[in-house]
Amino acid sequence: MTLKKNDSSSSANPGTAGSALPTWTYAREDLLELEYPPFFVETWQFVGHVNELQQSGDFITLDLWKDSVVVTRASDGLLRAFLNICRHRATRLLDGRGNCGSMIKCPYHGWTYQTDGRLAGIPSPKNFPGVDRSEYGLFEAQCEVYRGLVFVRIAGEGPSVAEKMANADHWVESYKAEEYVLLSEAVTETWNANWKIAWDNYLENYHLAVGHPCLHRLVVESEQGAMLLGGNSAGFFEMNPKLSSVDQERRYQEIVGCTDHRYPEEIRRKWLQIDFESNMGIEFYPSLFSVFQVLPMGAEKTQIRMSLYTPADLSESEKELRSIDLALLDEINGQDKFLCERIQRGVKTHGYRPGPLSQEESGIANFHDRIRKLLPVTRLKSPPPRGQIEAHNQQESS
Ligand code: FES
Ligand SMILES: [Fe+2]
């Protein structure tokens, strides 16, 4: 979920927020091939938090559809990001997270790399006469730390994370996210849905009343918010002044003020939600922050990666608040998985045409406009024949 200001300026249908992509775009692997570079390879992707990468040799990997990236703390104290493959024959180097000591060793033939990516050793070097080791360091990716959050970008250029976040930075700064510690390692789960269904769902609040009754009882949307560079947005929810009839939610509303001492007035007792790039939700609650990532695994399969961080010094009441936050996040995620998988089951239905998007779904309209601009083939109402999607994409661009 996220907060989106109503914006019907791009509407093709008067009175609605715009038109949705045709449903064939949610079930084609060849379209994912076209989407993958601009939406995943050339965008900033969250890997972890600086406090998880304190010691020399600490590393965290992030797996995307075709690529894997590893961020290391090198012996010179700097964080670096690399493609997680050996330069010899592309063997994957590291899994998950951990500490690799002073070297990264390839499990195939044993090439070793320094934690700063330089190639350190080749077993049986006489087999490689004339090979210059300095040319075979790990492929580097861009790495940026924004207020303690570590992001990587495999390729491409453009604004930094800090530049993209600028309009929300005065709020983010107040959370002191760089001081937070890991609450639980990134948890992943598989949703049987196209990545855009999961992201569409994140971008709209129209489904809250029916899809998430707990949220509807607990919070209301606030007018406070900002548009970010590149079409993203930041917005707040605040406590519903009407107390919930459900014990756990009412308790939350009653004790949320125990965190007031941490925050300036304008963000107290609120939830800040930022949608970032086209697949990440960065959410600040009074007792924790979470990063929700939507990562494609195929046309109809998506990995959801959820990372949680918390201040290290919570009081007992704040811990109680946090445990309710975690229970709610679980409940909401389960509901979103259920809903997204049900949409996926419908998208291949013969003869279906998308209905209008409501004003509350303007975030989806903007996201789909961006896709249509980047990948004009998605403007086609009927799917292009297999094997011809690229040609049709070229044709539609001209
Ligand atoms: S593939 Fe890594 S050492 Fe051969
Ligand atoms: Fe939802």
Mean local confidence (pLDDT), 32-36: 98
Q: Which listed ligand is nearest to 201 at the C-alpha?
A: 2
Q: How close is the Cα of 86 to the center of ligand 1, in Å?
A: 6
Q: How close is the Cα of 147 to the center of ligand 1, in Å?
A: 36
* Whether residue 315 is found in the same domain as residue 347: yes
Name the residue of 83, 87, 104, 106 whose CB sits within 8 Å of the most ligand 1 atoms, as the mutation to test its pocket. Answer: 106
Angle at 156 between CA 155 and CA 159, to 5 degrees: 125
Q: How does 261-276 read in b/e, with b if 16+ C-beta sit within 10 Å?
A: ebbeeebbbbbbbbbb
- pLDDT confidence of residue 108: 98
Q: How close is the Cα of 213 to the center of ligand 2, in Å?
A: 10
Ligand 1, closest atom to CA 90?
1
Mean local confidence (pLDDT), 321-345: 97
Give the residue from 117, 135, 155 where a domain finishes: 155
Question: Does the pLDDT value for residue 91 go beyond 60?
Answer: yes
* Whether residue 115 is found in the same domain as residue 89: yes
Higher pLDDT, 175 or 19: 175
* Whether residue 191 is found in the same domain as residue 299: yes
Q: How close is the Cα of 166 to the center of ligand 2, in Å?
A: 26
Question: Does the pLDDT value for residue 125 go beyond 60?
Answer: yes
* Whether residue 195 is found in the same domain as residue 119: no
Name the closest-CA residue to atom 3, ligand 1: 109
Q: Which listed ligand is nearest to 91 at the C-alpha?
A: 1
Q: What is the pLDDT of residues 293-332, one digit of tens each?
A: 999 999 999 999 999 999 999 999 999 999 999 999 999 9
* Whether residue 114 is found in the same domain as residue 178: no
* Whether residue 16 is found in the same domain as residue 111: no
* Whether residue 309 is found in the same domain as residue 376: yes
Angle at 368 between CA 207 and CA 337, to 5 degrees: 40
Question: Does the pLDDT value for residue 13 go beyond 90?
Answer: no
* Whether residue 295 is found in the same domain as residue 276: yes
Mean pLDDT score across all residues of the chain: 95
Name the closest-CA residue to atom 1, ligand 1: 89
C-alpha distances (whole Å) from 391 to each of 32, 33, 59, 181 are: 15, 13, 41, 48
Q: What span, in angstroms and rounded, lies between the C-alpha atoms of 290 and 177?
A: 11
CATH number at residue 384: 3.90.380.10
Question: Does the pLDDT value for residue 348 go beyond 70?
Answer: yes
Total domains in the chain come to 2
Confidence band, pLDDT 50/70/90 cuts, at residue 10:
very low
* Whether residue 315 is found in the same domain as residue 294: yes
Radius of gyration (C-alpha) of the chain in whole angstroms: 23
- pLDDT confidence of residue 14: 60
Ligand 1, closest atom to CA 122?
3
Q: What span, in angstroms and rounded, lies between the C-alpha atoms of 154 and 372?
A: 23
Q: Which listed ligand is nearest to 138 at the C-alpha?
A: 1
CATH number at residue 111: 2.102.10.10
Q: How close is the Cα of 206 to the center of ligand 2, in Å?
A: 9
Question: Does the pLDDT value for residue 15 go beyond 90?
Answer: no
Ligand 1, closest atom to CA 123?
3
- pLDDT confidence of residue 251: 98
Question: Of the ranges 152-156, 229-233, 242-246, which one carries the lowest mean pLDDT score?
Answer: 229-233
What is the pTM assigned to this prediction?
Answer: 0.95
Domain containing residue 22: 1-41+160-398
Q: How close is the Cα of 154 to the center of ligand 1, in Å?
A: 21
CB-defined site of ligand 1, < 6 Å:
86, 88-89, 91, 106, 108-111
Name the closest-CA residue to atom 4, ligand 1: 109
Give the residue from 132, 155, 178 where a domain finishes: 155
Confidence band, pLDDT 50/70/90 cuts, at residue 4:
very low
* Whether residue 48 is found in the same domain as residue 37: no
* Whether residue 171 is found in the same domain as residue 246: yes
What percent of the chain clears pLDDT 90, i.e. is strictly above it? 92
* Whether residue 197 is found in the same domain as residue 315: yes
Q: How close is the Cα of 294 to the center of ligand 2, in Å?
A: 13
Q: What span, in angstroms and rounded, lies between the C-alpha atoms of 48 and 145?
A: 10
Q: Which listed ligand is nearest to 89 at the C-alpha?
A: 1
Give the residue from 139, 155, 171 where a domain finishes: 155
